[in-house]
Chains A and B, each alone.
Chain A
Amino acid sequence: MFSRTQTILIPVISVVLGLLIGAVVMLVSGYNPIEGYSALLRGSLGDSFYIGETIRQITPYIFAGLAVAFAFRTGLFNIGVEGQLLVGWIASVWVGLAFDLPKIIHLPMAVLAGAIAGALWAFIPGLLKAKLRVHEVIVTIMMNYIALHLVNYLVRYVISDQQNTTSRVPESASLKSPFFEALTEFSTMHYGIFLALAGAIIYYVILEKTSTGFELRSVGFNQNASQYAGMNVNRNIILSMVISGAFAGLGGAMEGLGTFGYAFIHGAFSGVGFDGIAVALLGGNVAIGVVLAAALFGILKQGALIMPLQSGVPTELVEIVIAIIIFFVASSYIIAYLLQRFKKGAQ
């Protein structure tokens, strides 16, 4: 397909083009793009508070991106990351509230509960795909809605006494970090970023360094060939969805135990899971790419919040930039073609 340099160049060029076209949109609508982008940078990396918030924003993006990317490498399109994230969120908060244990047991247990819940939620579409060939896109989309309403029900009637939010998880199950809070002037940055980076390393190791990972990737390349080579395709499909769901569930646990420290009734989807699709796409479905793409998304989304205040540019502009970036990544053949033409021209 693409050469090695191309796989790196295409996302980079897409980002640059996205930002450039964003600047043109700003110019056309009467804003100053330099002011706009510098406000965006100030609002995401300008001082310690915003850096803290940006890192907090990046954390669930990494997990969501890894979740989508993992399934994608096995040839599965997991649109259900949003739902898996929500059930992971509620499960981790629930375990956080239900038990009274020392932190060294309680916190890992709560985080793990999130992963398991996400994994179970993704197991269902995996099983349906493996056994009955039901397309995972349809099932995962449906499961998102089930997750949203189930979680809202649990928050209101099971975990809390008809409240809109649950109580806060106790210190023993919290990822909140007084150290980072002090360092970043009360930002909501928490320890989850280390888990997210560890998650990226685990992702890399599983996919690239183990025979299971080889099988998973092989199924992604060609199911028939894999089957002919003696691999159990169905088992790999389920496994891939389960691991993908576990990553998504961990992303939810980060929100539940770190960013918020509680679960609440969602009026609509959080959007993190859907952004994960874009993160994975931009990151080329490799660990380091996902981390970098998540960082870019975190910076853009966080910086967007302050843009209207400091430069008058509406936050929606960032959505436009992101959409353009994704457009170029998705139409990567155009860029690859142009690159080739450019090379030939030079010769």
Chain B
Amino acid sequence: MKKRKFGLALSMVLAAGTILGACGSDDNESSDGSSGGGDDAASNDFTVSMVTDTGGVDDKSFNQSAWEGLQAFGEEYDLEEGTNGYNYFQSNNDADYVTNFNTAARSEFDLVFGIGFLLTEAIGQVAAQQTDTNFAIVDDVAEGDNVASITFKEHEGSFLVGVVAGLTTESNKIGFIGGVESDLINKFAAGFQAGVEAVNPDAQIDIQFSGDFNNASRGQQMAAAMYGSGTDVIYHAAGGTGNGVFTEAKNLKQQDPDRQVWVIGVDRDQAEEGALTANGEEYNVTLTSMVKRVDIAVQDISKRAMDGDFPGGEVIEYGIEEGGISIAETQDNLTQEILDEVENYKQQILDGEIEVPSTR
């Protein structure tokens, strides 16, 4: 019995070896064949795709925003969704990034976006191998002549919501919940802190990191602790973890509609996350959101690539001035006074009178 098992195992290994061997001889031909037709894409058959991080295109945050940008771009230039127009590749795991970039390049997309700093290493690696394809990384800087790096001045937008928080707080206690501590998330924290201090030097800011972008229950716990200690405004920059902050704020509002609890959203206009009904009345705990227009950046770079003006090897920064950063359009919870003040500071940033710090 044992011997037969071993024999089976041996033959499996051999069989696997044969299959592999067979593939090895094939691949030179196929790679020669595919590299022929890639280059000469005219602008009307321009193709573009994006690789998500593990959040996926329905993350209510920047993956979704990027995909909306691509969809808008496709609509504007009459591209169809699929291999001949625009498409996205979902990554379920960190190990999928390289595979997805390779698949995108091999499917002959002219431009491939990588969404999020988690994909930086993978995009650098694949860009060096697939030199006929253009790549663009969002939120980080990657090297290579065929890679454009897209970053945002999140500190500027965070400064503005910091102004809102500083003017809104009654307890003078303000919270910040970040995802994984990193240079990127520290930009949010630094700008926010500076914004609060500019209008309300007495306010205390409690800056904490959940260590996770995808853990709503942790976000809820942290928010519960902060609100419990008297904090009345929390700014989250924690992706899916931030959804827990909304849950906690809504729970508190539900129990006591008169209580002042606010959440400041991030990346997209998160007003819909904060809506609730208590005692038959409608409330919204979303004070405002720091909107990062990944969609605008994605459209902008796609347009430039289509026109043959792809900024390979460059770092492009989108800030308030470029229309890439703003506060949310939903402003129901903001008084005119606050809006005026925000406008005032926005102008000062635009004029260069205020230099918002990007590190703590």
| Chain A residues engaging chain B, CB cutoff 8 angstroms | 43, 47-49, 51, 53, 56-57, 148-149, 152, 156, 162, 164-165, 183-188, 197, 208, 255, 259-260, 262, 264-268, 270-272, 288, 291, 301-302, 304-306, 308-310, 314-315
For the complex with contacts A48-B30, A53-B102, A267-B180, 15 further pairs of A-B residues with Cβ separation under 8 Å are A47-B27, A56-B95, A57-B95, A164-B120, A185-B27, A185-B30, A185-B31, A185-B106, A260-B121, A267-B54, A288-B9, A301-B93, A306-B103, A309-B83, A309-B87
Asked if residues B183 and A305 are in contact (CB atoms below 8 Å), the reply is no
Asked if A47 contacts B99 (CB within 8 A), the reply is no
Q: Indicate which residue in B94, B107, B130, B239 contacts A266 across the interface (CB closer than 8 Å).
A: B94
Task: Contact check, B23 vs A152: say whether CB atoms are below 8 A apart.
Answer: no
In the complex, are the beta carbons of B211 and A149 less than 8 A apart? Answer: yes
Central interface residue in A148, A262, A305, by most chain B CB within 10 Å: A305
Residues of B within 8 A of A208 (CB): 2
**How far apart sit A148 and B213, CA to CA, in the bound complex (Å)?**
13
Q: Are A267 and B179 in contact (CB under 8 A)?
A: yes
CB distance from B38 to the nearest CB of A (A): 14
B117 contacts across to A, CB distance below 8 A: 164
In the assembled complex, how far is the CB of residue A98 from the closest CB belonging to chain B, in whole angstroms?
Answer: 20
Q: Which residue of A lies closest to B186 (CB)?
A: A162
**Residues from chain B with Cβ under 8 Å of A149 in the complex:** 211
Contact status A308-B90, CB under 8 Å:
yes
B80 to chain A, nearest CB (A): 12
B103 contacts A265, C-beta separation under 8 Å: no
Contact A164–B182 (Cβ < 8 Å) = yes
- Given A262-B121, A309-B83, A309-B87, A183-B99 contact (CB < 8 Å): no
* CB-nearest residue of chain B to A47: B30
Residues of chain B at interface, number, CB under 8 A = 52
Could you jot down 10 A-B contacts, CB within 8 Å?
Answer: A56-B95, A267-B180, A268-B54, A270-B95, A291-B12, A301-B93, A305-B89, A305-B90, A305-B92, A309-B83
CA distance A186 to B98 in the complex (A): 10
The main secondary structure of chain A at its interface with chain B is helix
| A259-B95 in contact (CB<8A) | yes
Whether B31 contacts A264 by the Cβ 8 Å rule is no
Q: Are A187 and B102 in contact, with the CB atoms below 8 A?
A: yes
Closest to A51 in B: B23
Judge whether B213 and A48 touch: CB under 8 Å. no
B92 touches A304 (CB 8 A): yes
- Among B82-111, those with CB < 8 Å from A are 82-83, 87, 89-96, 98-100, 102-103, 106-107
Min CB distance A302 to B, Å, is 7
Check A267 against B121 for contact (C-beta < 8 Å): no
Return chain B residues, CB-CB under 8 Å to A309: 82-83, 87, 89, 103, 107
**CB-CB < 8 A to B94: which residues of A?**
260, 264, 266, 270
Which of the residues A184, A260, A301 comes within 8 Å of B27, measured between beta carbons?
Answer: A184
B23 touches A288 (CB 8 A): no
Using CB atoms and an 8 Å cutoff, list the residues of chain B in contact with chain A: 2, 5, 8-9, 12-13, 19-20, 23-24, 26-27, 30-31, 53-54, 82-83, 87, 89-96, 98-100, 102-103, 106-107, 117-118, 120-121, 126, 129-130, 179-183, 211-215, 239
Query: Are B182 and A188 touching (Cβ within 8 A)?
Result: no
User: What is the CA–CA distance of A80 and B20 in the complex, to the nearest angstrom?
Assistant: 34
Residues of chain A within 8 A of B87, CB atoms compared: 309
Give A56 to B94 CA distance when docked, in angstroms: 13
B contact residues around A270 at 8 Å (CB): 93-95
A51-B20, A309-B103 known; A268-B214 Cβ under 8 A: yes
Q: Is the CB of B100 within 8 A of A305?
A: yes
In whole angstroms, what is the CA distance A96 to B30 when docked?
36
Decide: B121 and A305 in contact? CB cutoff 8 A: no
A185–B106 CA distance with the chains assembled, in angstroms: 10
From B24, B26, B214, A267 is in contact (CB under 8 Å) with: B214
Sorted nearest first, the 5 A-B pairs with minimum C-beta distance are A48-B27, A48-B23, A267-B213, A268-B214, A186-B129
Given known pairs A47-B23, A305-B96, A309-B87, the reply for A265 and B9 (CB within 8 Å) is no
Across the interface, do B212 and A268 meet the contact criterion of CB distance under 8 Å?
yes
Residue numbers in A under 8 Å from B215 (CB-CB): 268
| Contact of B214 with A183 in the complex, beta carbons under 8 Å | no
Q: Which residues of B contact A156 (CB under 8 A)?
A: 181-182
Q: Which residues of B contact A47 (CB under 8 A)?
A: 23, 26-27, 30
A288 contacts B5, CB within 8 Å? yes
Chain B residues near A57: list those with CB within 8 A: 95
In the assembled complex, how far is the CB of residue A157 from the closest CB belonging to chain B, in whole angstroms? 9
Name the distance in Å between B4's Cβ and chain A's nearest Cβ: 12
Set A49, A264, A267, A288: member contacting B102, Cβ < 8 A: A49
Interchain nearest-CB distance for B116 vs A (Å): 9
- List chain A residues, Cβ under 8 A from B211: 148-149, 152
- Measured in the bound complex, the distance between the Cα atoms of B186 and A156 in whole Å is 13
User: Separation in Å of the B211 CB from the closest CB of chain A?
Assistant: 5
Choose from B2, B106, B239 the contact partner of A49 (Cβ within 8 Å). B106
**Which A residues are CB-close (under 8 A) to B89?**
305, 308-309
Shortest distance from the beta carbon of B214 to any chain A beta carbon, whole Å? 4
A186 touches B102 (CB 8 A): yes
B102 to chain A, nearest CB (A): 6
Q: How far is the CA of A48 from the CA of B53 in the complex (A)?
A: 25
- Separation in Å of the A308 CB from the closest CB of chain B? 7
Neighbouring B residues of A271 by C-beta, 8 Å: 92-93
B8 touches which of A43, A255, A288 (Cβ 8 Å): A288
Q: Inside 8 A of B130's CB, which chain A residues have their CB?
A: 186
Q: Which residue of A lies closest to B181 (CB)?
A: A156
Question: Shortest Cβ distance from A38 into chain B, in angstroms?
Answer: 16
A164 to B120, CA, bound (A): 10
Q: Which residues of A contact B103 (CB under 8 A)?
A: 43, 305-306, 309
Q: Which residues of A contact B12 (CB under 8 A)?
A: 288, 291
Q: Which residues of A contact B179 (CB under 8 A)?
A: 267
Q: How many Å lie between the Cα of A255 and that of B121 in the bound state?
A: 14
Cβ B27 vs Cβ A49 within 8 A = yes
Give the residues in chain A near B9, CB-CB below 8 Å.
288
Contact of B118 among A43, A51, A148, A264 (CB under 8 A): A264
Cα-based distance from A77 to B100 in the complex (angstroms): 34
